[in-house]
Chains A and B, each alone.
Chain A
Amino acid sequence: MIRAKSFVFKILIFNMIIISMISCIFAIEVQKSDSLERILPFKKGIEKADLLFSLAEEYKSRSFNDSYSYANQCYILSSSLNYVKGQANSMYLLGVIHYLNNDYNKALYYWEKTVKYRNADMDQIGAANSLSNIGLIYMNTGEYDKSIDYFTKSLQIHTRLKNKRGMAKPIENLGVVNFKKGDYEKAIEFYQKSLKIEEELNNKLGVSQSLSSIAGVFLKMNNYNKALDYYNQSLKMKLELKDENEISITLNSIGVVYENTNNISKAIEYYHKALNYAFQSINKQNIANTLNNLGNIHISEKKYDEALNYFKKALKINQEIGSKEGIASCNFHFADIYNRKKEFQTSLNYSKVSLLIAKQMGNRDLIFKNLMIQADIYSNLKDFEKAYEAISEANFLKDSLMNETNHKQITEIETKYQTEKKKKEITFLNQQSEFNELKLKKNEKDIQFQRVILYIIFVGFILILFIALLIYKQFVEKKAVNLKLEFQNKEISNKKEELENQKNIAIQQRDQIIEQKKHITDSILYAQKIQNAILPNSKCITNYFFNNFVIFKPKDIVSGDFYWFSNVANDENKVIIAAIDCTGHGVPGAFMSIVAYNLLKQAINEQKLTKPSEILNSLTLNLNSTLQLSDNNYVVMDSMDISLCFIDKLNLNLQYAGAHNPVYIIRKGELIELKADAHSIGEIFTSDFTGFVNKEIELEINDSIYLFSDGYVDQFGGPNRKKFLSRQFKKMLIDIQNHPMPKQKEIIESRFYKWKGSIDQYDDIMIIGLEILQKKEHMPEKTLLRYKGKYHFETIEKLINQAKDIINEIDIKNVIKKKIINVLIECLENIHKYAIIDNENADILPQIFLIQSDERFYIKTKNLIAIEQTDILSNHINIVNSLDKDGLKKMYEEIIDNGNISEKGGAGLGFIDMAIKSGNQLFYNFADHNNKTVFFELTVVVNNITI
């Protein structure tokens, strides 16, 4: 059983190599940017159809439903436009997504239609590609001959058109299908052809893959020397290409060859080499496969503890990549090893886990193996009833498993037979022509020959009769056995019912898990809302830096990255801005980000620190006390990197301190880098590092400043699946300097999608860009209206009339005047409705200011409110600030339509109205008063420009 298992596994590895190859053959086009969706409403006609197709393409591997919907829309639109190419494109893509979904019938339907449309569009290459795709379907459904037909048709078209690149695919696929059929000679023949073409095309990766494919066939034919020879050739090329992922695959295969020749030490050596390369590449699947191989080989060497170690590592990686099959398989190996170590209870536990997952996936091979091992364990534990149950369930499965393997073997044998038969036919024909000559010469012998034939027929007949008798006898015996079996079957079917019940329980548990998963996703989505509320609004930055952008792309729904933006002491020239990158992403990262946000808030808003190094020092000390780092039980795991700037626009000065993350300033095409300290927030200060360093630089007009987390530069992608790296990032920033910030954002984003291609986003991404603009002639602020005094409803009237009179004297557009008055009314009414007013206590009377600066008006109010109101109020304003104009309108509609509005109005409608009318974020602050009340300060800004 041990040998059998590792054999099955090697086949599995082998199949994986084949599968990865097929996915390479299958055309995968470059993903396009999300921004496509935004321009969709502006496109019409054929352009729109093409855009829909691009969108469908973009979503094909991410979301079946989205891709399906876009492809369908594309088809409908194209049909109405009589746009045949669009029809063909959408049919092609519908085929792809169904193929990826393993729905081969539908994929076949769509691709057959694709061929029709491509032909109607005179697109012969397209038609040929679709024929090749249909071939793939038949290959997957095991209809190899049909598959060969289609590949051949595709090949013929490409050959006629002399399209070499197109020929490569069907030829390689013909190799694969012949390999699957078991016709190894033909498979090699095709792989050789594909090798030649790839050489002619000078496609080194293709050449090396073809070499590996040939080696794979030799391995299957047990021709280890040749296999080794080809694998080594392939390896050499891959080493030249420096493609770690591919190198690792080939090293692994070489390991398999050595293992098959029982050269265990060499095999281990190669697996280790493969592991090294797998770690360098980002293909975790590859790491897991190699660890698996190492585990297996150590089992067969009876080095169980080492094997266990490898499988543990493999398990960790499988968990990271969410490979259920990998997890189940590792758990099975644990069970296997502990069973051998005679630790039966532990073994049983692991096998149960593995079995549960295998059943969820419907992986019959693993279910069978687990049942067999459980039967073994139970009998070792002397629990024979359970052992019997396991074995009968396994037997039940075995039949269907056997049928599959048999089917495979039969096709293989059949193919071999056919090849042999053809050879024989040829020799037979040759013989016949010789025979004819003989026939003419020796007629007498001919008669004798006929006689011999007659004899043979007679003897044959006797033999058949004899065999028939034998079969009859067996039949009679079998009938008796069957009666016995029938009795046993009844017993088994009782047991089966019990098993059925257990299965139902398993299904129930599965549904429960699905339900739980939904709950979890819902709460993460809610967490996202909370996280969005702590992020400053981009409008807020625009108030200070007219030319800016923020790129914020969490890897998952919530993010470990976030950014901070605040102005210092209500001075519009002084701001603090920071990019923060907490360890991890997703939920753990988000938790850390909330901790970090609170610490920053504490340092900046409460401690009123402005010097970047002091803020970072404060963060370190407070983070340590928050996470109790002084307690030695806690290992430093959670930390954060940050780049933080204090910018004084008026005096053109920037101060910076950083933990690992630098800040770039680009001045006249030159990049100035302010380097960060190599110390994370969260690492304890030591005698070597006593605090962060403050750096200062004079700014110039038109300087561009960039803060960012490391997600962008660490993204894998490009032709060699490498990191993007800082060098390229810097060059990109320098190259895009002639564009305004919003355009820079577009370029940076599209560059990112192009770079990562089909690879997943690796980490959260955040980049902030700001430009220091020429200051306008500064006009001193002028207070147009100031009021502090008793407050009644009539006061509103009085103040508004005053304000109107004052504003009418100023030379600004009517629209602006209206906006100012509207905002003022809402502010004043809010005070009337919600403020605590004691007209006898002069200290707490409401205050109202209307201030004019050169380009904006400020409406400021200060009034007392109950301390319980602060949470509701700040929460409400934060939500208002997070919404754009459409969002605000929607919220406004909802409230006036359904909202629970008291006679006073209310439900925060006033704030929404102010945000809509002013087009700006609302600034607020709470200032301490006593333990029951606080001062609420609100500033609304109305810009003196209309867009």
Chain B
Amino acid sequence: MENLIIKATDITPEIYFNIADRTFNISGESRPENVKDFFEPIHIWIDNYFNNLEGKENQIFTIKLAYFNSSSAKFLLSLLKNLGKFYQSGIKIEVNWCYEKDDDDMKEAGEQMSEMAKLPFKFIEKDEF
């Protein structure tokens, strides 16, 4: 299986999924013109990866979004719910939800997502974004 790497644009985040390190980063802004087209391949990749996963190491997701629009929210949630499902099945998944200092909106959005996806997040405040 290959790493999944999508470069950032003004309206889509960077995707950097590295199998060897077991680190999976999503960062930037998310407000694609067609949300489904952007998120669907990522969703499929994650499904494939976890369904064929053999090791028992920690899988580390880092989500560092400066902004995501309301239509991205649905797809982001569905992606996180999928992770939640794998997490509930016993796979060790760590999620770091980064937000800019004082950005309570983003922090609260993370708390909401974590609860809905049944997946614990670690919240990390960053000075610079």
Contact = CB atoms under 8 A, between A and B. Distances in A.
A515 interface: no
B74 A899 contact: yes
B57 interface: no
Contact of B74 (A822, A889, A901, A946): A901
A684 to B, nearest CB: 53
Contact of B102 (A813, A893, A905): A813
B100 interface: yes
19 contacts: A797-B11, A813-B102, A814-B103, A815-B103, A818-B100, A821-B67, A822-B105, A825-B69, A829-B69, A829-B71, A897-B77, A897-B116, A905-B35, A905-B71, A909-B73, A910-B70, A913-B69, A917-B105, A946-B102
A814 B67 CA distance: 13
Nearest to B71: A905
A826 interface: yes
A892 B111 CA distance: 13
A895 B112 CA distance: 13
A919 B96 CA distance: 27
Contacts of B36: 903
Contact of A889 (B11, B31, B77, B112): B112
Contacts of A797: 10-11
Contacts, number: 68
B125 interface: no
B69 A896 contact: no
A642 B116 CA distance: 47
Interface string B108-126: 1000100010000000000
Interface residues on B, range: 20 to 34
Contact of A818 (B10, B34, B70, B105): B105
Interface string A814-831: 110011011001100100
A586 interface: no
Interface string A791-818: 0010001000100000000000111001
Given A829-B31, A901-B71, A896 B77 contact: yes
Interface string B90-114: 0000000000111111001000100
Contacts of B108: 889
Contacts of B74: 895-896, 899, 901, 905, 909
A380 to B, nearest CB: 74
A822 B67 contact: yes
Interface in B30-74: 31, 33-36, 67, 69-71, 73-74
A910 B70 CA distance: 6
Given A829-B31, A889-B112, A893-B116, A905 B105 contact: no
Contacts of A946: 102
B82 to A, nearest CB: 13
Interface of A: 793, 797, 801, 813-815, 818-819, 821-822, 825-826, 829, 889, 892-893, 895-897, 899, 901, 903-906, 909-910, 912-913, 916-917, 946
B105 A896 contact: no
B35 A903 contact: yes
A909 B103 contact: no
Nearest 6 A-B pairs (CB), nearest first?
Answer: A905-B71, A909-B70, A913-B70, A896-B74, A896-B73, A815-B102
Given A818-B105, A901-B74, 14 more contacts: A814-B101, A815-B104, A819-B105, A822-B105, A829-B31, A889-B112, A896-B73, A896-B74, A903-B34, A905-B74, A909-B70, A909-B71, A909-B74, A913-B73
B70 A905 contact: yes
A139 B77 CA distance: 65
A825 B102 contact: no
Contacts of A901: 71, 74
Contacts of A913: 69-70, 73
Contacts of B104: 815
Given A814-B100, A815-B104, A916-B105, A905 B116 contact: no
Contacts of A826: 69-70
Grouping DSSP codes into helix (H, G, I), strand (E, B) and loop, the A interface class, with mixed when no group exceeds half, is helix
B102 A814 contact: yes
Nearest to A821: B67
A361 B104 CA distance: 59
A896 B35 CA distance: 13
Contacts of B33: 793
Given A889-B112, A893-B112, A893-B116, A904 B105 contact: no
B70 to A, nearest CB: 4
Contacts of B105: 815, 818-819, 822, 916-917
A906 B36 CA distance: 13
A805 to B, nearest CB: 13
A566 B116 CA distance: 38
A832 to B, nearest CB: 8
Contacts of A889: 108, 112
A889 B104 CA distance: 14
Nearest to B117: A897
Contacts of B67: 818, 821-822, 825
Nearest to B72: A905
A897 B77 CA distance: 8
B85 to A, nearest CB: 14
Contact of B70 (A815, A893, A897, A912): A912
A893 B80 CA distance: 14
A825 B31 contact: yes
Contacts of A825: 31, 67, 69
B75 to A, nearest CB: 9
Contacts of A917: 105
Nearest to B34: A903
A910 B35 CA distance: 14
Nearest to B74: A896
Contacts of A814: 100-103
Looking at A813, A815, A899, A946, which has the most chain B CB atoms within 10 Å of its CB? A815
A906 B116 contact: no
Nearest to A818: B103
Contacts of A895: 74
Contacts of B101: 814
A914 to B, nearest CB: 9
A906 B71 contact: yes
A801 B108 CA distance: 26
A400 to B, nearest CB: 61
Contacts of A829: 31, 69, 71
A803 to B, nearest CB: 13
A55 B88 CA distance: 40
B120 to A, nearest CB: 18
Nearest to A906: B71
Nearest to B31: A825
Nearest to A898: B74
